[in-house]
A and B are shown apart, each in its own frame.
Chain A
């Protein structure tokens, strides 16, 4: 475990219990029983699953972002480039559209969409393992999924369904329960394990595709690992929380200076830092004094977009 993992791991251990106390109702840590009869219930049934989900989703998105940047050798790469998140969103929107939005139907539909996106990527770009074809295929899938999602919104059967779809697309952890945690945890764990397997191959890609292949890296197998690893982490994240952008883009940048900059050194600390970022952002949207809770996806975009601009300016000056 490297220094960055220790730092973000320690911060997560500090912030996680504190986050459970924050919200519209503040909980006294020294008097949970006396804070009112609902305190323990709020903690166990609302805050804890929500925090667990923030950690799981953030970790998956952070690890996926670090892996994607390593694979594409581009600090501006984002897991969204795969088109898997928009496909998962399309699956979820379809379940709203057809009126199947129960606790299990929605995430299962979103996971089906993610799996379809992964399958399309594999069919189009999987045989050659070429990065250019892969990126273009991802963009095409994202564009198609975006268009179909917009079509579904336009043709919503009623105003309530349209409002539900739009709210859901904005991403949130509000009202999530243990059932989402049990669905997300194993799938994200498998996805992250797959990305960890790919880590050393991503290191080899630092010296280019030809050099990596000459070092024994099988580029086709690596592409499959990336599709499965990113597909699971990002697909599950969309399935249980909607679209939560920018985490996969921002986090590797924050972490990279604290590591030796090899992709393999970045995946675990990016997972920990991603968990931390989503956890803090979710606390912030809970305690902001707004009439309705700010959607987590919007909050992270509000943080992420200026960060992205700052990054572009920094790159223009040749500092990245």
Chain B
């Protein structure tokens, strides 16, 4: 099943932030959304998650318009991880993960345990939010999304504020979810991570789709120069590429 965007435009504070974007995103793969600051990446992700109403165009989940689904059904299908790692109260890890079952209104013990195991949280499941490091907090919040067993995982800059080891760890978990059949869509700032981990990249520039395709095409040196205004070149082998300014 695909998440289809048809000529989608989104507005925030009466400003067009996403302008006429069309694409069809498949499951069992990682799709990265890249672009300079203010390109509309987070807005597009929120539109895909059904959290921003379309000014024009539509988002479809399979054949159904996203807006026609009830909030519960949409939440059961699409798990969304916001950029903010806010946890307002000093809640235990297990209870945070269990919040992922809210769209179902059940305890979902099996799903909660599977999410805790998938992100290696067993050792500190009783620990409270204030006792978690940044990396642990990111894993816990991703586990909350996994506990909802969504068909789609949408995450807004999930690697921000994480050190390299935790970034790679989280990317591997997301790749595991994609191999398990989920559609994974990530907003990424680090183009090298998009190049090495994504199966497909959407590049936004000023709210418009500047490129859409496999990473080596969508993040070609020519596109980077055009969209980011930076002359850079890729070095290294496939799967371990790095971007250097030239």
- Measured CB to CB, the residues of A under 8 A from B are 73, 200, 203-208, 210-211, 213-218, 256, 260-263
Cβ of A217 and Cβ of B71 under 8 Å apart? Answer: yes
* Known pairs A262-B89, A263-B89; A214 contacts B80 (CB<8 A): yes
A residues within 8 A CB of B99?
Answer: 203-204, 206-207, 215
Q: Which 9 A-B pairs have the closest CB atoms?
A: A214-B80, A216-B75, A73-B88, A216-B71, A208-B86, A210-B82, A216-B72, A261-B89, A216-B103
B74 part of interface (Cβ distance < 8 Å) = yes
Which residues does chain B contribute within 8 Å of A210, judged by CB atoms?
46, 51, 80, 82, 84
| In the assembled complex, B95 has its CB within 8 A of some CB on chain A | yes
Binary per-residue interface labels of chain B (124-160) against chain A in the complex, 1 for a CB within 8 Å, 0 otherwise = 0000100000000000010010001000000000000
Residues of B within 8 A of A215 (CB): 75, 99-100, 102-103, 148
Q: Name the B residues within 8 Å of A200 (CB-CB).
A: 102, 105
Contacts of B90 in A (CB 8 A): 261
Alpha-carbon separation in the docked complex, A216 to B100 (Å): 11
Select one of B74, B78, B96 contacting A207, CB under 8 A: B96
How many chain B residues touch A (CB < 8 A): the figure is 33
Residues of A within 8 A of B74 (CB): 216
Say yes or no: is B49 at the interface (Cβ < 8 Å to chain A).
Answer: yes
Given A216-B103, A261-B90, A207 contacting B141 (CB threshold 8 A): yes
Q: A204-B102, A216-B72, A216-B102 are in contact. Are A211 and B91 (CB under 8 A)?
A: no
Known: A203-B99, A207-B86, A207-B99. A262 touches B91 (CB 8 A): yes
Q: Given A208-B84, A260-B95, A262-B91, is A213 in contact with B103 using a C-beta cutoff of 8 Å?
A: no
Residues of the B chain whose Cβ atoms lie less than 8 Å from the Cβ of A256: 89
Chain A contacts for B86, CB-based, 8 A: 73, 207-208, 211
Sample of 24 A–B contacts (CB below 8 Å): A203-B99, A203-B102, A206-B87, A206-B96, A207-B86, A207-B99, A207-B141, A208-B86, A210-B80, A210-B82, A210-B84, A211-B81, A211-B82, A213-B51, A214-B78, A214-B82, A215-B100, A216-B71, A216-B72, A216-B74, A217-B102, A256-B89, A260-B92, A260-B95
* B183, CB-defined interface residue at 8 Å: no
Q: Which residues of B contact A263 (CB under 8 A)?
A: 89
Closest A residue to B80 by beta carbon equals A214
Q: Mark B47-76, 1 if CB is under 8 A from A, else 0.
A: 001010000000000000000001110111
Chain B residues proximal to chain A, CB less than 8 Å: 46, 49, 51, 70-72, 74-76, 78-82, 84, 86-92, 95-96, 99-100, 102-103, 105, 128, 141, 144, 148
Least distance between B2 CB and chain A CB atoms (Å): 20
Q: What chain B residues lie within 8 Å of A204 (beta carbons)?
A: 99, 102
* Cβ-neighbour of B91 out of A213, A216, A217, A261 (below 8 A): A261
Smallest Cβ-Cβ distance to A265: which chain B residue: B95
From A214, A218, A260, B49 is in contact (CB under 8 Å) with A214
Among B51, B89, B91, B92, max chain A CB count under 10 A is at B89
Q: Cα distance A214–B46 when bound, in Å?
A: 9
Chain A residue at smallest Cβ distance from B128: A261
Q: How far is the CB of A56 from chain B (nearest CB, A)?
A: 28
Q: Which residues of B contact A211 (CB under 8 A)?
A: 80-82, 84, 86
In the complex, which of the residues B74, B82, B96 has the most CB atoms of chain A within 10 Å of its own CB atom? Answer: B82
Nearest A-chain residue to B84, judged by Cβ: A208
Closest B residue to A260 by beta carbon equals B95
CA distance A204 to B96 in the complex (A): 9
- Complex Cα spacing A97 to B95, Å: 52
A261: chain B residues within 8 A (beta carbon): 89-91, 128
Question: Nearest Cβ distance between residue A201 and chain B, in whole angstroms?
Answer: 8
Whether A214 contacts B51 by the Cβ 8 Å rule is: yes
Pair A214/B91 contact, Cβ less than 8 Å: no
CB distance from B43 to the nearest CB of A (A): 12
Nearest-CB residue, chain A, relative to B154 = A214
B72 contact set on A, CB distance < 8 A? 216
CA A205 – CA B81 in complex, angstroms? 13
In the complex, the answer to whether B92 meets A205 with C-beta atoms within 8 Å is no
C-alpha gap A208/B82 in the complex (Å): 9
* Smallest CB separation, B156 vs chain A (Å): 8
Chain A residues within an 8 Å CB radius of B148: 215
Which residue of chain A is the closest to B71 with respect to CB atoms? A216
Residue of A nearest to B75 (CB): A216
